[in-house]
Structure 1
Amino acid sequence: MPQMAPMWWTSILLTTSITLLLMMMINYFTSVKKINFNINKNSKNLKWKWY
């Protein structure tokens, strides 16, 4: 069925693009959480002084 070939290509392209976007979002949010956790952890250890 050659008339169904474009549907296969579009489905493959859509699935690959969606999976790439999902992986990028997951990596971004996990890295942001790690960075914020490190910042909060470091800020608790600081001893503030009034000048």
Structure 2
Amino acid sequence: MPQMAPMWWTTILLTTSITLLLMMMINYFLSMKKINLNINKNSKKLKWTWY
């Protein structure tokens, strides 16, 4: 990594980091939505009884 970073280097670095962050956030939220949907489906199937 050079001492005085040129403009193209910083733009490439920024774009790659931002895209990685966005992809990680999208994957996290999609996986959380799937997990919550599975939990809701499983809870609907269970028959609750009073003890």
User: What's the TM-score, normalizing by structure 2?
Assistant: 0.88
> Are 1:49 and 2:49 matched, yes or no?
yes
Q: How much is the aligned-residue C-alpha RMSD, in angstroms?
A: 0.9
- Which structure 2 segments of 5+ residues have no match? none
The letter of the residue matching 2:12 is I
> Are 1:10 and 2:34 matched, yes or no?
no
Q: What is the alpha-carbon distance in structure 2 between the residues aligned to residue 50 and residue 42 of structure 1? A: 19
**1:4-51 CA distances to partner (integer Å, 9 max, x unpaired)?**
x61111000000000000000010000000000000000000100101
Identity of aligned pairs, percent? 87
Structure having the larger proportion of residues in helix: 1
User: 4+ runs of 1 displaced by more than 4 Å?
Assistant: none
